[in-house]
């Protein structure tokens, strides 16, 4: 048939890969994987037009191509820049990139409320990961963080505008998966906000996917609100025969309770694809099928071993040998209140449990 198209060679952080023409630097870097793949907060490979905004994926192009080996003067957004044959890119090997990226992380956290302790996204939040991996400790910002008027956007999705990083992903979901977008970005600059126009409720059959694409806790599942920390729940893959969507999901369980249903995520935190098609799920699967009986369970979800979620099982954990007293040279800590005497958590040896702790574990009657 047609002759095979010529592949482009691109070298990123001294590792060379061959990719199809038209591939972005980011997707080429993901092909290499690991630390070579720049972090992404706004780009989402399954959403057309996404990317270019957050600037966390900036990289240095030290040679444009074999034909024109001049370096590019500015750092470029790897998610929106195509590779050329013979291009040489520096990501984590570039001081400039690391410096600029630390700047972007600082900017993204500038007005962020840092309310992780009460945020349902904590533990699976891309901003937490980003801050941890690419940010600096401490902030130089000394001003009041911005706040917004609270807005109710319907029965399923909770909007916390203070946490939003304006990645625009949710607007692309509404544009590309639902037949009617009723929300968007209002205002501009640092007062821009995600909102519905005159407090409309978002209720399209695929709107729940906005929760899955939101990198932070700005859009969370109302039916899961404050139910549990994600690292205490056990994710299992399951499916059902759904007339509307692919029906392939992850159930987030605690004991036998299904606390939450999400689409399945790939290693980049994006919704998984099946046969090249993104596995978005419908709102019925997400919000209305909360019984194990609704689902055919496939088995435990593979979770990256570095993720805090995989720590939730506490299986085979070694308890630390040193006690506070040992560390403090024999002195007991001066406490206003000994938390051990009042906390239920400490009455149970979580590391001895075979699975995740559930509310039953802490039930006094069982002990």
Partner 1 sequence: MGRKLLLDKAHVENIRQYDVYRQNGGYRSVEKALKSMSPDAVTEEVKKSGLRGRGGAGFPTGMKWSFLAKPEGVPRYLVVNADESEPGTFKDRYLMEFIPHLLIEGMIVASFALGSTRSYIYIRGEYAWIVGILEQAIAEARQNGWLGKNILGSGFDCDIYVQRGAGAYICGEETALLESLEGKRGNPRIKPPFPAVKGLWDCPTVVNNVETISAVVPIINEGGDEYAKIGVGRSTGTKLISACGNIKKPGVYEIDMTISVEEFIYSDEYCGGIANGKRLKACIPGGSSVPILPANLLLKTAKGEKRIMNYESLSDGGFATGSMMGSGGFIVLDEDQCVVRHTYTLARFYRHESCGQCSPCREGTGWMEKILWNLESGKGKSSDIDLLWDIQRKIEGNTICPLGDAAAWPVAAAIRHFRDEFEWHVTNAAESQTRNFGLAHYANELPVAPASV
Distance CA 259, CA 53 (A): 33
Site string for ligand SF4, 159-178 (x = CB under 6 A): -----xxxxxxx--------
Q: Min. distance of Cβ 19 from ligand FES in angstroms? A: 17
Which residues lie below 8 Å from residue 254, measured CB to CB, with a gap of 6+? 228, 232, 233, 234, 356, 358, 359
Can you state the angle between helices 126-134 and 95-110, rounded to 10 degrees?
A: 140
Q: Min. distance of Cβ 80 from partner 1 in angstroms? A: 5
Q: Which is nearer to ligand FES, 47 or 259 (CB)?
A: 47
Mapped onto helix, strand or coil, the DSSP state of residue 65 is: coil
Distance CA 169, CA 211 (A): 10
Q: Which is nearer to partner 1, 14 or 147 (CB)?
A: 147
Mapped onto helix, strand or coil, the DSSP state of residue 1 is: coil
172's contact among ligand FES, ligand SF4, partner 1, none, with CB below 5 to 8 A by partner kind, is none
Q: Min. distance of Cβ 200 from partner 1 in angstroms? A: 17
Structural tokens at position 354: 């075979």
Q: Min. distance of Cβ 212 from ligand SF4 in angstroms? A: 10
Number of residues in the chain = 367
Task: Name which position in 17, 47, 59, 79 contacts ligand FES (CB under 6 A).
Answer: 79
Residue indicated by tokens 């689409």:
263
Site string for ligand FES, 35-74 (x = CB under 6 A): -----xxxx-------xxxxxxx-----------------
Per-residue CA distances from 147 to 162, 258, 296 (Å): 6, 33, 43
40's contact among partner 1, ligand FES, ligand SF4, none, with CB below 5 to 8 A by partner kind, is ligand FES
Map the footprint of ligand SF4 across residues 188-247, applying CB under 6 A: 194, 213-216, 218-219
Mapped onto helix, strand or coil, the DSSP state of residue 76 is: strand
240's contact among ligand SF4, ligand FES, partner 1, none, with CB below 5 to 8 A by partner kind, is none
Q: Which residues bind ligand SF4 (CB under 6 A)?
A: 164-170, 194, 213-216, 218-219
């Amino acid at each position: 048939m047609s002759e095979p198209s010529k592949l482009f060679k691109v070298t990123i952080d001294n590792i060379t890969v061959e990719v199809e023409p038209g591939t972005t630097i980011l997707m080429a870097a993901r092909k290499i994987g690991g630390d070579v793949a720049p972090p992404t907060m706004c780009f989402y490979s399954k959403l057309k037009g996404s990317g270019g905004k957050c600037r966390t994926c900036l990289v240095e192009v030290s040679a444009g191509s074999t034909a024109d080996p001049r370096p590019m003067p500015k750092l470029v957004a790897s998610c929106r820049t195509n590779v050329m044959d013979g291009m040489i890119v520096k990501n984590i090997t570039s001081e400039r990139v690391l410096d600029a990226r630390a700047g972007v992380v600082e900017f993204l956290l500038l007005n962020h409320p840092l309310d992780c302790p009460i945020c349902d996204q904590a533990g699976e939040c891309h901003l937490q990961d980003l801050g941890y991996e690419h940010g600096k400790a401490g902030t130089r910002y000394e001003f009041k963080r911005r706040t917004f008027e609270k807005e109710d956007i319907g029965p399923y999705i909770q909007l916390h505008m203070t946490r939003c990083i304006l990645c625009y992903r949710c607007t692309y979901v509404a544009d590309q998966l639902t037949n009617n977008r009723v929300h968007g970005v209002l205002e501009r600059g640092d007062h821009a906000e995600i909102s519905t126009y005159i407090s409309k409720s978002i209720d399209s059959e695929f709107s729940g996917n906005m929760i899955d694409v939101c990198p932070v806790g700005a859009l969370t599942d109302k039916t899961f609100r404050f139910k549990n920390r994600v690292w205490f729940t056990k994710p299992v893959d399951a499916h059902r025969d759904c007339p509307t969507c692919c029906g392939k999901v992850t159930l987030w369980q605690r004991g036998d309770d299904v606390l939450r249903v999400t689409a399945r995520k790939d290693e980049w935190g994006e919704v998984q694809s099946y046969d090249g098609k993104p596995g978005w799920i419908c709102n019925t699967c997400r919000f209305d099928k909360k019984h194990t009986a609704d689902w055919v369970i496939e088995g435990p979800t593979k979770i990256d071993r570095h993720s805090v979620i995989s720590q939730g099982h506490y299986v085979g954990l070694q308890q630390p040998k040193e006690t506070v007293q040992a560390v403090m040279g024999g002195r007991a800590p001066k406490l206003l209140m000994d938390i051990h005497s009042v906390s239920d958590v400490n009455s149970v040896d979580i590391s001895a449990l075979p699975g995740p702790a559930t509310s039953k574990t802490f039930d006094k009657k069982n002990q």
